[in-house]
């Protein structure tokens, strides 16, 4: 069992405390693809009920998903991304693009994400400076915030 990262003075460590599990990321991927119901997550992912229940509860508890009663004839729940959850779109896109480049290779990507308005593949996620110029790793410096 790993130690908790919840008290680390590091945004990456704390984010990993919430998101740093493969099943959690795959649940989020499917939520972005439109999956909302427990049975659909279970079927799409091939995940056990108990693991899925844990991951969904964890994401709800941390405000990333919301459990919404949509039942017309009794209680029926769906899981929807909250504003906080939707804000992970860039993170998941960057992770997918990294995997496309370094795991599958250019031209062998398993999926292509397109802009609905144009039908063109979305551009690569980039870090830009205030003038909109691309920043590379050598252009950045990490500084601790003074207390």
Task: Tell me which H or E stretch contains 97.
Answer: helix 89-99
Residue range 30-43, pLDDT digits in tens: 999 999 999 999 99
Give the phi and the psi of residue 42 in degrees, each rounded to 5: -60, -45
Read off the pLDDT band of 74 (50, 70, 90). Answer: confident
pLDDT value at residue 137: 94
Instruction: Write down the pTM of the prediction.
Output: 0.89
The average pLDDT across 90-103 equals: 96
Q: Give 96's contacts (C-beta < 8 A, 6+ positions apart).
A: 111, 113
83: which DSSP letter?
H
The average pLDDT across 111-129 equals: 95
Read off the pLDDT band of 86 (50, 70, 90). Answer: very high
Task: Tell me which H or E stretch contains 49.
Answer: helix 49-61
Q: Is the pLDDT of residue 2 over 80?
A: no
Extents of the domains making up the chain: 11-139
Domain 11-139 has CATH 1.10.10.10: yes
Q: Is the pLDDT of residue 72 over 80?
A: no
Q: Is the pLDDT of residue 71 over 90?
A: no
The average pLDDT across 72-93 equals: 94
Contact 45, 52 (CB under 8 A): yes
Cα 37 from Cα 45, distance rounded (Å): 12
Name the average pLDDT for the chain: 94
Read off the pLDDT band of 12 (50, 70, 90). Answer: very high
Q: How far is CA 29 from CA 6, 64, 96, in A?
A: 23, 12, 10
How do 77-81 and 65-69 pair as beta strands? Answer: antiparallel
């Amino acid at each position: 069992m790993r130690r908790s990262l919840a008290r680390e003075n590091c945004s990456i460590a704390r984010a990993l405390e919430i998101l740093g599990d493969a099943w959690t990321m795959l649940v989020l991927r499917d939520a972005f693809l439109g999956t909302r119901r427990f049975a659909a997550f279970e079927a799409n992912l091939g995940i056990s009920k108990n693991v899925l229940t844990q991951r969904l509860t964890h994401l709800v508890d941390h405000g990333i998903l919301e459990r919404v009663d949509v039942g017309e004839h009794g209680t029926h729940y769906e899981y929807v991304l909250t504003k906080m959850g939707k804000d992970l779109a860039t993170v998941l896109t960057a992770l997918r693009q990294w995997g496309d480049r370094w795991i599958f290779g250019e031209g062998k990507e398993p999926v292509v994400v397109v802009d609905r308005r144009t039908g063109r593949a979305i551009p690569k996620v980039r870090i830009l400076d205030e003038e909109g110029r691309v920043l590379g790793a050598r252009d950045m410096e990490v500084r601790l915030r003074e207390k």
